[in-house]
Amino acid sequence: MRTVLVTGTGGAGRTALAAATARRAGRALLITADGGISGPDVVRVDGGAFFRRHMGALQSGAAAALDYLGATPLEAEELTGLAGAESLALLAAWRTALDEGGHDTVVVDLPPVHQALRLLALPEELRRYLTRLLPRERRAARALRPLLAQLAGVPAPAERLYTAADAWAAGLARLREAVEAPDTSLTLVLEADRRAVRELPGVRAALALHGHTPAAVVVNRLLPAGSPDPWLAELAAAQQRAVKDLAEQLPVHEVPHLGAEPDTGRLAALLPGPADAAVRNGVTVDDLLAAEGVLLWRMPLPGAEREDVGLVRRGDELIVTVGPYRRALALPSALRRCVIERAGLREGELRVWFAPDPAVWPAGR
C-alpha cells in the first residue's frame, strides 16, 4: 500500500491538494484533521476525542499507582485538549489504515511543514524514550516485580503497564517503518512568494535530517499572466520570479489559482502523476582506514547552513541539530569504538571523521 504525505507552508492550500491527490489516486483513503471534508473514503481525526479516550485508558492502567499516591483520576468532562494530540491522532489513524488495508493508497493531510516535521519524527523519538524509560530487560523481569515492590515499599507497576509498553513499542516500530518505507512519498505544497523561497532551504535540510526528500513540490495558486489590471499583472510577475527561484532548488509543478474553494476533480486533473519510489537520504559510512586511518560518517543535508548545524556525541549516539530540529542517531558498532577526529558541512553533507580509539579498538585492525 502506497502512502502520500502532503504538507506545505501555511495557507498554501495543502488540504485541498491532499483531497485532490486522493481523488487522482483512485482507491485511496484520505486522513485529515480538517472538519470540512467528508466522504466514505475520508477519515477525520479529532485530537481532543483521541486524547480523552487514551487518557481514560492510561488512568485505568495506572489505577494502583494513583491510589497509592492518593490521586483522584480525572473525569472525562475535566479533560481538555492537549497540544500535539492531533498529531498523535493522525499517526494512529495512519497506522490503523495500514493494518486494515482495503485501499491502494493512503493520503495523509499533514499540518503545516514545521509541525509535520515534528510529527514524522515522533515514532522514532517516542520509541527511543520508551526504550530508555522501560528497557526491554526491565519489562522482561516480570518474576522479580513482586519482590522488588516489597523491598521498595511501593506497589509494583501493573502488569498491564508492561503489556501496554510492549504494544506501544510494536506500534511505534510499525509507524517508523511506514515513515521510512520506500512506498511512502512526500508532497510539498508551496505558494509562489518570497517567504517560500526563503524557507525552502531550511525545510529541505530538516526533511533530510530525518531521511526525507520531497517526491513532488507543487507551487499552488498561480495567477494567469497578461492581466490588463496592473496590480494583478505585477502580482503574477512576482509569482513567476518566485517560481524561478524555487525551481533552482528543486523541480516544481505549477498549479493555477482555481478560486477560494477549488473543485476537487478539476484540481486532481492538474496534479502530477504518482511519484516514483521515494529516495531516502540515509547515513553512509565510508571505510578509509587503509588510506587515511579513519571512518567517514556522512549525512546529506541539502540546503543547510553551517551556522544552523550542530553535532554532539552522547555515548553511542550522535545528536544532530538543524535549526530547531534534532535527531539522535545510533552509531554503528565500529564507530562506537572510535573517537571523533573532526567534523564539517561540505557540499551539502554533514561529514564526521572517526579515528579508532586504541583503548578499545581490536589489535591488528
120 inside domain: yes
DSSP state for residue 181 in the 8-state scheme: -
Choose the final residue of a domain: 244, 270, 296.
270
Q: List, for the chain, all residue ranges whose pLDDT scores fall below the cut of 70.
A: 47-84, 133-165, 274-281, 363-365
For residues 184 and 259, membership in a common domain is answered with yes
pLDDT for position 159: 57
Q: Please, which contacts does 261-268 make with residues 24 or more away whose CB atoms are closer than 8 Å?
A: 262/13, 262/16, 262/20, 264/16, 264/19, 264/20, 264/23, 265/20, 265/23, 267/16, 267/17, 267/19, 267/20, 268/20, 268/21, 268/23, 268/24
The reported pLDDT for the residue numbered 350 is: 97
177: domain CATH number is 3.40.50.300
Query: Is 363 a domain residue?
Result: no
Query: For residue 61, how many other CB atoms are within 10 A of its CB?
Result: 17
Looking at the structure of the chain, the number of domains it has is: 2
Assess whether 251 and 299 both reside in one domain. Answer: no
Contacts of 169 (CB under 8 A, 6+ apart): 127, 130, 131
Query: pTM for this structure?
Result: 0.84
Residues 263 and 182 in one domain: yes
Asked if residue 309 and residue 266 are part of one domain, the reply reads no
Strands 42-44 and 105-109: unpaired
Alpha-carbon torsion, ordered 88, 90, 92, 98, to 10 deg: -150
Task: Tell me the per-residue pLDDT of 123-180, one tens digit each, with 9 for 90 and over.
Answer: 888 888 877 766 665 555 455 455 444 444 445 555 556 666 677 778 888 888 888 8
Q: Which amino acid is at 263?
A: D
Residue 168 included in any domain? yes
245 and 322 fall within a common domain:
no
Give the structural domain span for 121.
2-270
User: So what's the pLDDT on residue 325?
Assistant: 94
Q: Say if 361 falls within a structural domain.
A: no
Residue 1 confidence (pLDDT): 87
Which CATH number covers residue 319?
2.60.40.790
On whether residue 278 sits in a domain, the answer given is no
Q: Rounded to the nearest 5°, which phi and psi values hold at 172?
A: -65, -35
Q: For residue 231, is it within any domain? A: yes
**300 in the same domain as 175:** no
Does residue 362 sit within a domain? no
227 shares its domain with 103: yes
- The CA-CA-CA angle for residues 215, 217, 222, to 5°, reads 155
The predicted-structure confidence for 89-139, as pLDDT tens digits, reads as follows 888 899 889 989 889 999 999 999 999 999 999 888 888 887 776 666 555
Question: Are 93 and 236 found together in one domain?
Answer: yes
Are residues 220 and 245 both part of a single domain? yes
pLDDT, position 152: 45
- If asked whether residues 233 and 303 sit together in one domain, one would say no
Q: Which three cell numbers stand for residue 23?
A: 481523488
Residue 317 lies in a domain: yes
| Last residue in a domain, options 240, 270, 300 | 270
